[in-house]
Chain A
Amino acid sequence: MTGTLDHLDQLEAQSIYILREAKFRLKRLGLLWSLGKDSNVLIWLCRKAFLGEIPFPVAHLDTGLEFPEAYAFRDRYAAEWKLNLIKDPCPPLERTDPSLPPGARIAARKSLGLAEALETYKFDGLITGIRRDEQATRAKERVFSPRGLDGSWQAANQPPEFWDQYTVERAPGTHMRIHPLLAWTEVDVWRYIQRENIPLVPLYFAKDGMRFRSLGEIGITVPVASNASTVDEIITELETTRTPERAGRTMDHEAEDAFERLRAGGYL
């Protein structure tokens, strides 16, 4: 090993530091596993941070609408990584806010599922894999982000956060979101997957000229045209593309503020 850390080493070390802060400061942690590439990286980092085994539950908010490949992946790696997996089903569409656009309503089922999980398991901290480069409102997030009683995000009134000093004060009945991957970019995630050989749902890799760049539910995630069928090819593709990552996510584009409204309501 040489002296200086490379970029991925730095990101990894910083994320591990954040995870260990979360573990120290919060009592009932949970990790949200979307089965996507980012949360797989998150699980990978947790296993490193906690010396092999993740000392808290990993929750998959199950809408029943994941691709079959995603379910197969979940069941295989939950066992292989010895995860304490929670996979409760999300509430039905009828219970979501009918004023939201249709794609956002499907996504809002996850917010409801999350609210139920918070109620059931009394989490005081939820670790999620969101990144600042994904979406403009996520770019404004804190690493330790307090949520209101209803799970809401007070975007205009966030605590200061500097020098790795995090505010962990939260009102009773509320929870913190912890975002260890906030500083990572999409291509960082892929380079790390490449370096660490992290397994993924195969839908990310091109088949018949199409692949999923961002993985969500059936019906609200569409594949992009691509011939990248390996991690190396995906990295090459990302280095030149000007199409945003979440272009294939219906709910982001239905209205200017659709995503912010989802997030204010507790969505990731």
Chain B
Amino acid sequence: MAKAPFPIVIVGHVDHGKSTLIGRLLHDTGNLPEGRVAELKAAAAQRGLEMEWSFLLDALQVERDQGITVDTTRIWFKTAKRPYVIIDAPGHREFLRNMVTGAAGANAAVLVTDAERGSGEQTRRHAYLLSLLGVRQVVIAVNKMDLVGHRQSALESVAAEVGGYLRKLGVEPLHVVPLSARHGDNIVDRSQLMPWYQGPTLLEALDTLPTPPSALDLPLRLPVQDVYRKGDNRLAVGRIESGRLRVGDKLVIAPTGQPVTVAAIDTGRGEAEDYATAGHSVAVLFEEDAALARGQVVSAPASPPRAAEAVRVRAFWLDTQPLTSGTRLFLRLATAEHPVLVDRVEKVLDLQTLTDAEAKEVGQGGIAELVLRAASPIPFDIHTEIAATGRAGLARESRIVGGCVLLGAADDVAKPAPKAVTAVSSSVTRAEFEARTGHRGGVVWLTGLSGAGKSTIAMAAQRALFDAGWKVAVLDGDNLRTGLTSDLGFSEADRVENVRRVAEVANLLAQTGTLVLVSLISPTHAMRDQARAIVGEGFHEVWVKADLETCAARDPKGLYAKAKSGTLPGFTGISAPYEPPATPDLVLETGADPVDTTAGRLVEAVRAAFAPAVQNT
């Protein structure tokens, strides 16, 4: 059976010889295709240069013209022991994103260091990033030994400097190999020029590296990637990041807390299966009719992920625009995308001394500890416990601009403290207001799918009522999101808060004798019950009813298209449920009737319920 290739990343400061080392390794192990060296010599001659081994990997014109590696590349080679994928990572700071891209997938790293010059800034940055990226097996290759006369003392001083640095990061260098990539010393063949060196050649060192432990025996984490329909069934699809999954398992979904039982598992083998493990992409059917959505995490009830609204992370930042407290980002943790606010930049790492410094912002290539705050609890793990659900990408919109590992909940994050409040009575009573407006104040709550016609009807009814002398306000969910609720997202918790705020404002207006038309999706019974509780008397629930297909076809704001493409998570009707009112005061069917008719019916209902407020006696 084929063995999986062992991925190794080659990192280090620019010009310390990473690409040359790889070229040499491939050549000396007989892994180069026939004719490749001749081809490279010819290409070099065209430029009037000597052949460089690095030309093997620096495939882009820009790379060969400038003699630098711009982007990471991968190349396969075999030793007698096993197959490898070698990942070449660029050493320039401006190409750090490419280094991260390459290194994140490695089991081990070769940190290339110049024997003459010692470590460079990128040696340290790369070493730190390796530890953040979870690459804990490091071999130090001390290159260009030919430039220091193959002296043992040169090796020892670099080994002490770089090794000491790695140890401070909690990384124990497994081997320190003195070599010359250009001349092939101690790569594959043992060098005759360094008889004092008794350790392994680079190739021997690579062959000793153990495969990292699998995530099989960790607690189950199945992040829901998508929800598919097959016949009448809805299946959660996703990849098992850790642990095992069996038919009959009793599990729980985070963050909803819903218990589920595994009814069937499909890994694509074409037959019914009863078992899948970490690494499998699966489609899972649950016995229960669960509310499923991308970003949820399925786990065992005894070992669920943690949950916190504020998390402490160690982050690396790749964007040109600096990171500061107050920056809004998406925390892309497995399949979830949590809108978060950078609550504060706790400290920024000084790479030279490995000490933390107070700083207000994190520049490109910087490493910092941050507190991130979301509006609702984030299911997560600590990165040292379960790697895959203990790390996350950081994105501006849909652009990845950094990454982080999660260190834990930040319990001490200051929440706005509830102020001691004493209610002050209004100097004008509701009855007085209503006497002046000539009708009762109240709240008419229009609920329904996006695109059902809530706003259109509300605006038409407002005009008609105003023209008839009413004091009438419209609170429109979309409009409010530009101001009153602009800090909220579309998570369950944010939507609850959204509804709460709108209900509070509607109530304040109703107290002044205003007739308030609220146009808000407010998808769940619970949300509308909360609104009813806040408003109290004078709350009327109106269901603006149109089926999903009609709304999606109208799609006046292009939201259905976005939701279907996945750029709009938690969209009602597509990726979040809508619960129709059980006993609405009024139902307006917009699929069947034109706006004039439905708005007219609403106006009639308002008149019947709220006017006249005061009988003149």
Binding site for B on A (CB under 8 A): 1, 3-10, 12-14, 16-17, 20-21, 23-27, 48-52, 124, 132-133, 136-137, 139-140, 142, 155-156, 158-163, 165-169, 185, 187-188, 191, 242-244, 247, 256-257, 260
Interface of chain B residues 54 through 79 with chain A (CB within 8 A): 56-57, 59-62, 70-76
Instruction: Give the distance in Å from the alpha carbon of A1 to the alpha carbon of B269 in the complex.
Output: 11
Is there an interface contact between B33 and A137, defined as CB atoms closer than 8 Å? Answer: no
Q: Which residue of B lies closest to A256 (CB)?
A: B43
Which of A5, A25, A160 gathers the greatest number of chain B CB atoms within 10 Å?
A: A160
| A160 / chain B contacts, CB cutoff of 8 Å | 97-98, 100-101, 318, 400, 403
Is there an interface contact between B59 and A260, defined as CB atoms closer than 8 Å? Answer: yes
Is there an interface contact between A156 and B281, defined as CB atoms closer than 8 Å? Answer: no
14 further A-B contacts with Cβ under 8 Å, apart from A26-B566, A139-B74, A162-B133, are A6-B1, A13-B279, A16-B281, A26-B565, A139-B75, A140-B59, A160-B403, A165-B395, A165-B400, A167-B399, A169-B397, A187-B2, A242-B33, A257-B61
| A187 / chain B contacts, CB cutoff of 8 Å | 2
| B39 / chain A contacts, CB cutoff of 8 Å | 256
Interface class of chain B by DSSP = mixed
A-B contact pairs, 9 of them (CB 8 A): A13-B239, A20-B281, A27-B561, A51-B230, A52-B230, A132-B74, A139-B59, A163-B388, A260-B61
Instruction: Give the distance in Å from the alpha carbon of A100 to the alpha carbon of B85 in the complex.
Output: 33
B interface, size bucket: 35 or more
Interface of chain B residues 236 through 251 with chain A (CB within 8 A): 237-239, 244
Which of A1, A26, A50, A243 gathers the greatest number of chain B CB atoms within 10 Å?
A: A1
Q: Which residue of A lies closest to B71 (CB)?
A: A140
Q: Is residue B266 contacting chain A, with contact meaning CB distance below 8 A?
A: yes
Bitwise interface map of B from 275 to 309 toward A, beta carbon under 8 Å scored 1, else 0: 11111110100000000001000000000000000
Interface of chain B residues 467 through 499 with chain A (CB within 8 A): none
Q: Which residue of A lies closest to B7 (CB)?
A: A183
> Would you give the shortest CB distance from A153 to chain B, in whole angstroms?
10
Q: Which residue of A lies closest to B318 (CB)?
A: A160
> Would you give the shortest CB distance from A67 to chain B, in whole angstroms?
26
The number of A-B residue pairs with CB atoms under 8 Å apart is 168
> Would you give the shortest CB distance from B8 to chain A, in whole angstroms?
15
Q: Which residue of A lies closest to B282 (CB)?
A: A13
Q: Is residue B199 contacting chain A, with contact meaning CB distance below 8 A?
A: no
B225's partner among A21, A48, A140, A161 (CB-CB below 8 A) is: A21
Is there an interface contact between B76 and A4, defined as CB atoms closer than 8 Å? Answer: no
Q: Is residue B256 contacting chain A, with contact meaning CB distance below 8 A?
A: no
Instruction: Give the distance in Å from the alpha carbon of A167 to the alpha carbon of B332 in the complex.
Output: 11
Given contacts A6-B2, A17-B239, A165-B400, contact A242 B34 (CB under 8 A): yes
> Would you give the shortest CB distance from B246 to chain A, in whole angstroms?
11
> Would you give the shortest CB distance from A135 to chain B, in whole angstroms?
8
Is there an interface contact between A156 and B101, defined as CB atoms closer than 8 Å? Answer: no
| B275 / chain A contacts, CB cutoff of 8 Å | 1
Is there an interface contact between B60 and A156, defined as CB atoms closer than 8 Å? Answer: yes
Instruction: Give the distance in Å from the alpha carbon of A8 to the alpha carbon of B269 in the complex.
Output: 12
